[in-house]
Every structure is written in structure tokens, then in C-alpha cells.
Amino acid sequence: MIDLYTAATPNGHKASIMLEELGVPYTVHHVNLALGQQKTPEYLKINPNGRIPTIVDRDNGDFAVFESGAILIYLAEKYGRFLPADVKGRSEAIQWLMFQMGGIGPMQGQANVFFRYWHEKYQPAIDRYQNETRRLYMVLEKRLEDRDYLCGEYGIADIANFTWVNIHSWSGVSIDGLPNLQAWRDRIRARPAVQRGLAVPDDRVEAKVMVETAQYILQR
């Protein structure tokens, strides 16, 4: 059994989508970011960075994994799915996963902060992070010119990048004029496991959690 500590955010949804795709049993623990539950001493034992998501594998000596990209790799390797086994295919998938972890995640995350949450509008910061996110989307657009998924078959690189592209409008970043990206987003969004994963921890609390998170960030 796997315990998933998460909230309704793109990084959290990577883990829940992957668990749904694998069809393995897991227990959801909703971490309320607004209340700072991700910073409690108990939670910091499983995620020293004090963020979500985290998984704890109860069938593997209560092994804890933090960082959403590392969670995707751990689950892919444990269950032998969604990550090619050959050296080149595996490297390609990890390259596009790192592209999201080191690029789209941080840039779009900051776009959210300055466009949505910050107490004052500082336009240069909004422009910088939105433009950089759009530039990264254009890299995906080019990659998807001649393929349905980022690395041949649907896999962890698609899941990671999808959860961020999927909330582009929340970040104020357009995907107009990027037809390959739109088609890829729609293809992934149509998967039943993706829809189930996006509803974790509970789609009814998603809007509320976004607002709570904004309030929390402003208080820091």
C-alpha cells in the first residue's frame, strides 16, 4: 500500500495521476497548505523540503519519496511501466521530465505567484515568468510536431508536463497558436486515469485550496 500526501496542485496531481494510471491501491492524505501542514516536524521527516507531494511505500519498509519527478521515477521503476527500460529511451524520458522539473515548474510556479497571489502587481516579474513559460511551451510545441507523446509512448514525461500545461490559464499563459500542444493536452486529458488523478484529493476543494494557498503565501 502507498500513502500519498498531497494537495490539488500540478505537482500533487503528477503523483495521483501516476497512481491512477498504475491502478495500484493508495491512501490519500490531504495536506492543507494554507494551514502549513507541510511544515510540521512530523511531515518534514518524510519531506525535508516541506512541500507536497510525498509518497510513503508501506510495502518497502515505509520508504518515503519526495520531489514529484522522483516520485514518478520511483513508481515507474517499481511497477515497470511508463518509463522505457532501454538506456536511450530512459534517458530521453528523464530529459523531458527534467525539462519540466527545472523549467516549466519553477517558471510557471513563479508566474502563479506574481500574477495571482502577490499583494502588489509588479509587471516586470509577471512578464518575465509568463514569457518564459510561454517560451518553454513553444519548446514542447516543436517537440510534438511529429509525435503524439513527448517520448514515443505516453509516459512520466507527459504526465509531468501535462499537469502544468493543463492550468495554463490560471497562470495567465496562453496556448493559442500552439496546435500540437493543445492536441497533446486534449489527448492526455481524455484518459480516464488522468481525470481520476486530477480529482485527488477532491475536486470540490480545489478552488478553495487555491485560495487558501494564496492566502498562505501572502502571510509568509
Ligand X SMILES: N[C@@H](CCC(=O)N[C@@H](CS)C(=O)NCC(=O)O)C(=O)O
Q: Which residues bind ligand X (CB under 6 A)?
A: 9-11, 33, 38, 50-52, 67-69, 105
Least distance to ligand X, CB of residue 36, Å: 7
Nearer to ligand X, 57 or 148 (CB): 57
Least distance to ligand X, CB of residue 145, Å: 27
Choose among 121, 32, 14: nearest CA to 113: 121
Nearer to ligand X, 37 or 182 (CB): 37
- Residue number with the shortest CB distance to ligand X? 51
How far is Cα 140 from Cα 75, in angstroms, rounded to an integer? 24
Nearer to ligand X, 9 or 130 (CB): 9
Least distance to ligand X, CB of residue 219, Å: 11
Nearer to ligand X, 139 or 217 (CB): 217
Least distance to ligand X, CB of residue 96, Å: 15
